[in-house]
Amino acid sequence: MPRYKIIVNPISGRGFAEKMIPVIEEKLTEIGLDYDLVQTERPWHAAELAEKAALDGYDVVISASGDGTANEVLNGLMRAQNQGANKTAMGIITVGTGNDLAYGMNIPGNFDECFAVLRDDKRRVMDIGLVKGGEYPDGRYFGNGVGMGFDAAVGFEAVKIRWTRGLLAYLIAALRTVFLYFTAPFVKITYDETSIEQYSLMTSIMNGQRMGGGFYMAPNGDPSDGWLDLCIAESPSKMRIFQLITYFMKGTQASQPEVKTAKARTISITAIKGSMPAHCDGETLCYSGDKLVIDLLPQRLEFIISGKPK
């Protein structure tokens, strides 16, 4: 019988995950899974637990959390793969704030539906990204995306908002960030055979589709297609930023003159003037970095996904 390791970050979703542990255990028992559950105790603990679970031969590791802990679990599984343990799949029970990584992997945001997905056990091998730079010169893996500039600054501001979560928290953070972060860096962006230099308000490199719980940086992104999707926005006026936000919420920003989109497998971004805050699946890469290099690793990690279209 397959063995499942459930990793819960009790503070995910502003503490919602801890409250849901008895319910998680009840539902896992109902669908007949052979599991054991452990709670994280510190940053990066989920990565350690996931790595050990894979090395110990667990068939599936499930992150019961939001994007940050899910990213740690993903990193733990990838580190285990580098040691030869490449048979462990990943699942997600969505009890976090944004749940963008789950969305990108076609895992439902609805808590109850997650257990039906685990019961049905439909799987797909997905591409994984690797970013090097900032606080991770040796690299950090990601499943959903990397954001630099305005996007990252919004995420850092959203963490400070404690009274709400999800898209509303990111919208409030975006409004604040318009006034807190406006000096866009002058960057050189090289992807595959193309190179551009410009003042860039925001650069998003996506394996999935959205960030911030509702901003569709790559509405047609597919984490199994062998490509990363780029969304590069020049630096507009403050009022124009407010206008562009509405396009990002609909995923129609490619129609706007300030926005470039492309597909690539390798991307490097260098700040020629100024510096760039950056995140990876919502987790901080740096507050003022000067260079990032991103590579796609095709068909690397199996996920338990929904069989239903989004």
Range of the domain at 62: 3-96
Q: Summarize the chain as % helix, strand, coil (round to 5).
A: 30, 40, 30
Residue 126 is assigned to a structural domain of this protein: no
The token duo for 180 is 């807190």
- What's the length of the chain? 310
Q: 39: burial class by Cβ within 10 Å (0-12, 13-18, 19+)?
A: middle
Whether residue 143 sits in one domain with residue 55: no
pLDDT confidence tier of residue 15, bands split at 50, 70 and 90: confident
* Same domain assignment for residues 38 and 182: no
243-266 pLDDT, tens digit each: 888 999 899 999 999 999 999 999
Q: Are strands 34-39 and 3-8 parallel, antiparallel or unpaired?
A: parallel
Q: Is 41 inside a domain boundary?
A: yes
pLDDT in tens, 109-118: 899 999 999 9
Domains in the chain, number: 2
d(CA 206, CA 45): 25
Same domain, 66 and 212: no
> Which range, of 102-111, 112-121, 237-246, averages the lowest pLDDT?
237-246
**Do 40 and 147 belong to one domain?**
no
**Percentage of the chain lying above the pLDDT 90 cut:** 70
| Weakest-pLDDT range from 16-30, 73-87, 176-190, 249-263 | 176-190
How many C-beta neighbours within 10 Å does residue 44 have? 12
Judged against a pLDDT cut of 70, whether residue 166 lies above it is answered with: no
Amino acid type, 278: A
- Domain of residue 69, CATH code: 3.40.50.10330
Long-range contacts of 237-245 (CB under 8 A, 24+ apart): 238/178, 238/179, 238/182, 241/150, 241/178, 241/201, 242/178, 245/171, 245/174, 245/215
Report yes or no on 267 lying in a domain.
yes
Q: Are 208 and 105 spatial neighbours (Cβ–Cβ below 8 Å)?
A: yes
Give the end-to-end CA distance of the chain in Å, rounded to a whole number.
30
Q: Are residues 202 and 289 in the same domain?
A: yes
Is residue 111 one of the residues assigned to a domain?
no
CA pair distance 306, 310, nearest whole angstrom: 9
Question: Do residues 55 and 192 share a domain?
Answer: no
| DSSP-based three-state secondary structure for 23 | helix
Q: What is the pTM of this model?
A: 0.93
Encoded amino acid at 310, one letter:
K
